[in-house]
Amino acid sequence: MATSHLLMIRPVNFSFNAETAVNNAFQVPGQAAGAQENAAGEFDHFVTLLRSKGVDVTVIEDTPSPYTPDSIFPNNWISFHGDGAIVLYPMYAPNRRAERKPHILETLSRKFLISNTIDLTGEENDNRFLEGTGSMVLDRDNKIAYACLSPRTNKTVLERFGSLMGYRTVAFTATDQQGMQIYHTNVMMCVADEYVVICLDAITDPEEHVLVQETIRQSGKAIVPITMDQMNAFAGNMLQVSNASGTKFLVMSSQAYKALTPEQVRMLEKFNGILHAPLDTIETNGGGSARCMMAEIYLEPR
């Protein structure tokens, strides 16, 4: 179930965030020269690409204060659902909690119908976190929430989300080549309407490996495996979107696209077209990519 409505936040203070780098191995320090200017350019080009294909992108400008260097990744603090609900999530880094700015919700409520707010942010008081559709990759059609556990993804809060929203939760552990827990599930897997892109090599526990594969197969979706090296190039950080005519696209960064083999590209293009844009500054400093920048909106337009 791909949506044609996206929320994207245009950055004003984008930079390397030391508070998130402690458990995000995708961030690279020392690359911050000109980060805000370059990231804004990458953002604008990306939005133009999406809109040129008929995708409705609601762009909201971030504010200089409070300081929010990762505001370009809104999918971590909010999600939108077809029953009119929005969910607000508990965030690991204190400076990311400030991304929940009132002007964003006010702008969205003028364009979309919001009937219910589920607020999980109180879990921050107990140091329990669940960073939205970064921590979880949602199969909205089958009501399954896949989640690799990490300092950013607490199993208790995951199960609370599942109970409140009617999702079956599939929790597992995933690690990179250095044995470090992968900080967000959406860098290792992407659930689309008929297929799942996933780095199965990151799931080293045999039982969890089987559990995830079987859950995907039983949901009726094909598996498109990617390697660890491809995951490190953000080839798992993709999102399927549609336009108003129902044409579907798989959206990713140019780095991710270049990491795919010709066979993988052919396989994916059997399902949908592929859109990609260069996001090098955002990926290097922010440790997130195309999928992280798009919060998909399933609310009814006004």
Q: Are 155 and 146 in contact (CB under 8 A)?
A: no
Residue 21's pLDDT band (boundaries 50, 70, 90)?
very low
- The reported pTM is 0.93
pLDDT at 15: 64
Quickly list DSSP for 99-146.
T--HHHHHHHHHHB---EEEE-GGGGGGT--B-HHHH-EEETTTTEEE
Residue 32's pLDDT band (boundaries 50, 70, 90)?
low
Structure tokens at 104: 């964003």
| Residue that wins the pLDDT comparison between 25 and 268 | 268
Structure tokens at 182: 């992968």
Q: Is the pLDDT of residue 35 over 80?
A: no
Q: Is the peptide bond before 66 cis (omega within 30 degrees of 0)?
A: yes
pLDDT at 30: 45
pLDDT in tens, 125-140: 999 999 999 999 999 9
Sign of the torsion formed by the C-alpha atoms of 22, 28, 32 and 36 = negative
Residue 149's pLDDT band (boundaries 50, 70, 90)?
very high
pLDDT at 289: 94
Closest by alpha carbon to 239, among 180, 280, 185?
185
Quickly list DSSP for 244-293.
TT--EEEEEEHHHHHHS-HHHHHHHHTTSEEEEE--HHHHHHHS--HHHH
pLDDT in tens, 206-234: 999 999 999 999 999 999 999 999 999 99
